[in-house]
Amino acid sequence: MQSGFEVTMTQCRDTASMSYVLEMAARNKESDGVKVTDGFRDDWSVEYTCDNLDAFYSIGEYPVDKKTVIKAVQLAYTENEPEAVVGKAGFARARSVAYLGGKRVVSAPSNVLSCKAGPEKCYVLWEEGIAGIIYDPKDAKTNSNQENRKRVNAHAGRILNGKDTSGLERDQIYIHGNDTGTCIKNGTVFFFGVADDSDIKSYDLLRSDKLNGAYKKVKSYALNSPELIKCDVSFEGRPVYAMHFNSFPPEKDFYYAVCAVSKTGSAAGARGEGMLNRTTPDKVQNIGIGEADQTQIVLSWDTDECVKQYWIYRGKESFGNIEEASGTPIAKVSGKKGVYFDKKVETDVRYFYYVRPVYDAKKAAADPRYNMNLCSDEVQGKATAKYAVIKNFQAANYSTNHIQLSYSQAKGITEYRLWRLEVSSSEKTLTDTMKPDIYSEKKESESWDEFENRIDGWNIDDWKNFCAKYSSSKGSWQLAGVNHGTGTSTAKQTFDDNVKVGHYYFYLVQGATDKSSGFIFAPSKQIRNVPLGVTELSAGYCGYSSGIRLSWGINSRDAAYKSELTSVISINGGKTWTPVNPGYTDFSLPRGQERTYLVAVVYHFGQADAVPGGISMAVCSLPDRIETNIKDDKCEIYVGDTVEIKARAVRDNGQTAIVNHISFEKSSDVLDGEKGKYTGSRPGEATVVLKCAGLEKRILVRVKKR
């Protein structure tokens, strides 16, 4: 101390009625070898007698050797004798004095100890002096500690002046939910500094595993360190400092103290009594629960670096007092992960959860009460149809007056509501104003839970009335049907037969169960109902003259509406259409030319509500000549030789005609073979006739004897 020295010594016997004599000097006189009556040389300072020491002065037990534990008595001197000079050493020794039979009995002197005089004693604040105040290094680096300073000032003001910080957000002020203690290995130590810091160069943070054990320096903070913040408040003229420390050992008890270090001789001052701190995981904070979809419940919470694992517990009934709860965790997740998806739940079944923070998994497994006081609050929730997404929803034109609807069933969903909206041909996109928005039904006075519970109580008529609020230029949403599902992920098809031919529609599918309804509607693309195109359309030579024969059939799905359907054909690219029967012959196509035929089916042909269906196409051309590889249409071969007649049905532009099958007929047995490949069997002549689509070509083959 700047005004004197502080001496700690041990009491001889707990019950002894004794006085103590201490001597101090600026230099050691112990080894001068001179004996005097009282056992002390005159040039030691005047002795100080301390009487009536009792338990009040005891500051703890000190081990003297492996077998002995004795109590220590602390005596602090504030007299300026001898004068203490900062940075200079002082020496002290002590002896005990007893009075026996009226005589004063003095013990031999104790050992001599020395220390340098340093700054005055520093004290860690007595209440919440070590707290989990958030320290942001980025704020220190780029913002001159402005936000950090606000936080430590709020805490110091709360301790010293009783200021209320209840209005401050948790993420601004405290790490721990109860406002005290350190977690995530980080915390702030609040202490009384030296009143006059003109000779102070730094403050040291000291640590010991025992209250009266050996305190070792764990970190030194220069006065200008960004991690050492001088608070706005003070106490009895002494400033309050906040020092940030990021190495509090998890789940271990340590005592912390602070001492000032002088610029003069780097002398360290005295420390106050050590303050106990145990860095433990925070009580699990801000736990939330929600439903990811109809098969998953999601839990979330704030993470804590003092946690290595979070153990998740689930039940179908409330756990009651969680500190007394028992059970096996359903999952163990990393301490860095503040979220858990429970995928093993039943739809519409309520579950109860809590989360347990674990630093030492072995302790947690062995001790059912380990950190149970730090568990999260109990939360409850259930997975419902609200956020079920129905995938692969499509609407397709199936037949006259029928739209096919298909989708993939979702696990846990047992009901599929199909909604239909008629639109104009120009309304090609389902806009937001046309889509039902369930969240628009929430009242300002309702909480989300109240809102969702109210919607869960809706029946099908409520949903009809709700969907009817959204419309297009042609009308509002109507319930097209309700399908019951298996609750498994399988494909499903159904039909809407309440549509009008030629009209345009959008569809929605909504998943539901008998207890909840989906908030998400899966939409289709715009679909128009029209007759189906013809089937098996073909074009070929009609068998005589130069006619083209076309044939087709009405799609079997439209068979029930055959009387209302008319086939039409166009031979000019769709400019004009002519009603025809499914068999049609065209004699107007010149040989060698190509023609495209368009065939469609029209609903109510010639009437105001006529609607054409899909268009089918066939292309055909007849040859105007047959070309061969035989020059001048005649050739000679010897008996046993072979001739191959190659032919092609050609149209006017030299390309092969679409109708191009050529048949071969020989007139004599002079030739053996078929299909244009012949061998001479005996001398003589034979004619091979080539035919294609009403055309003929004759090839004369003369067979000679060798």
| 670, 696: one domain | yes
Last residue of a domain, one of 96, 116, 136: 116
Q: Which are the contacts of 66, defined by CB distance < 8 A and separation ≥ 6? A: none
Residue 439 has φ and ψ, to the nearest 5°, of -70, -15
| 270, 179: one domain | yes
pLDDT for 267:
87
pTM, full prediction: 0.68
| 245, 302: one domain | no
pLDDT for 34:
43
| Domain assignment present for 189 | yes
Q: Which are the contacts of 370, defined by CB distance < 8 A and separation ≥ 6? A: 358, 360, 363, 364
| 179, 226: one domain | yes
> Do strands 130-131 and 565-570 pair parallel, antiparallel, or not at all (unpaired)?
unpaired
| 273, 133: one domain | yes
| Domain assignment present for 586 | yes
pLDDT for 176:
57
| Residues in the chain where the model's pLDDT stays below 70 | 1-85, 90-100, 102, 104-109, 114, 163-181, 184
Using CB atoms within 10 A of its CB, is residue 491 exposed (0-12), middle (13-18) or buried (19+)? exposed
pLDDT for 706:
82
pLDDT for 306:
82
pLDDT for 304:
82
How many CB atoms are located within 10 Å of the residue 617 CB?
14
Structure tokens at 178: 């109860």
Last residue of a domain, one of 505, 528, 551: 528
Number of domains in the chain: 6
Give the structural domain span for 178. 127-278
CATH number at residue 368: 2.60.40.10
DSSP 335-403: TT--EEEE-S--TT-EEEEEEEEES-HHHHHH-TTTTGGGPPPPEEEE--GGG---EEEEEEEEETTEE
pLDDT for 280:
83
* Spatial strand order in the sheet of 535-541: 535-541, 548-553, 583-586
- Please give the torsion angle defined by the CA atoms of residues 477, 481, 482 and 483, in that order, rounded to the nearest 10 degrees: -130
The per-residue pLDDT for range 27-83, each reduced to its tens digit, is 555 444 444 334 434 444 444 444 444 333 333 444 444 444 444 444 444 444 455
